[in-house]
Amino acid sequence: MHESLLQTIGLTSDQIVIYETLLKIGALKARDLTLKTPYKRALVYKLLDDLVKLGLAEKETKPGQVTTFRSTHPSALAALLEERQGQLKNVEKTLTSSLPGLISAFNLISGRPGIRFFEGVEGLKQVYLDTLVNTEMIYALLTPAEIEPNLKKWLDATYIKARVKAGIKAQVIAPMSKETVNYHQLDEKSLRETLVISGEDYPVAVEVNIYGQNKVAFISYRADELIGVILESPHIYNTMKTFFKLAWAQATTGARACPPEADAPWVQKANSTKSS
């Protein structure tokens, strides 16, 4: 009668036969169902029990009489569908959290570099959370300026705290800016070492995270371009890590700690304007 619909909701073909028989005829004993369907009594009882648990059938037992079964109101199908949708959402959440590990295992065996793309604030959160899967040092090139406000709030309130709690340290290269001064001042509290470079000579527009022994993430977190990419490849990871260490070593020879507020270029510019 409505077999395809009932299968979509999740009923088996055998359950559908029993359900539709009850729906068309009404209350029946299990013995009667063995005569009206191709199933033996033991299987009929099992199928009836399944339908009762699903809320699609109910049994009625009266003293001195054989138990009968009837279908419940068809609206129970809508309730069952809603329940199944809730279960699927839970499965989806579990799959989403487990997928990175499954992909990593696949890439490790196949030798293929994995590429994953993410969009929007929620997508970028997934990129950052992926850096917490492994407790190895994170090597990052970034600019604390111009981060989308909602993402920045989440990074400060949730991500950094989670990284610190997991004991994951970070080495960061960042161009000079007002935001970098504030960022640098929180290094010790954030299990982080920040090397400040010239923003004019070395502008940085996106964040690069090198982490997990085989991953590199590129993150563009400006409000007009919220996209992220995770590459999984030990070769790409090792090469990017080499570049980072080279940049760190070269910058260290000419870099100094983040200048005091009074020495910052924007303060110097303001002071020169006042004196003139």
pLDDT per residue, tens digit, the chain (276 aa), is: 578 889 988 899 999 999 999 999 999 999 999 999 999 999 999 999 999 999 999 998 888 888 999 999 999 999 999 988 888 888 888 887 777 667 766 766 666 667 888 999 999 999 999 999 989 999 999 999 889 999 999 999 999 999 999 999 999 999 999 999 999 999 999 999 999 999 888 999 999 999 999 899 999 999 899 999 999 888 999 999 999 999 999 888 754 445 545 455 544 444 444 444
Closest CA to 161 of 122, 123, 132: 132
CATH fold label, 3-80 = Arc Repressor Mutant, subunit A (1.10.10)
| Residue 263 confidence (pLDDT) | 53
Distance CA 237, CA 232 (A): 8
Percent of the chain surpassing pLDDT 70:
87
Q: To which residue do tokens 């989308």 refer? A: 148
Domain boundaries, the chain: 3-80, 114-259
What are the pLDDT digits (tens) for 19-37?
999 999 999 999 999 999 9
The half-sphere exposure of 54 on its side-chain side, counting CA atoms within 13 A, is 28
- Amino acid making up residue 146: E
Beta bridge partners of 220: 227
Beta bridge partners of 196: 174
The half-sphere exposure of 266 on its side-chain side, counting CA atoms within 13 A, is 9
Domain 114-259 sits in CATH 3.40.350.10: no
3-state secondary structure the chain: CCHHHHHHHCCCHHHHHHHHHHHHHCCEEHHHHHHHCCCCHHHHHHHHHHHHHHCCEEEECCCCCCCEEEECCCHHHHHHHHHHHHHHHHHHHHHHHHHHHHHHHHHHHHCCCEEEEEEHHHHHHHHHHHCCCCCCCEEEECCCCCCCHHHHHHHHHHHHHHHHHCCCCEEEEEECCHHHHHHHHCCCCCCEEEEEECCCCCCCCCEEEEECCCEEEEEEEECCEEEEEEEECHHHHHHHHHHHHHHHHHHHHHCCCCCCHHHCHHHHHHHHHHHC
What are the pLDDT digits (tens) for 143-185?
998 899 999 999 999 999 999 999 999 999 999 999 999 999 9
By the 8 A CB rule, do 52 and 63 touch? no
Distance CA 273, CA 246 (A): 38
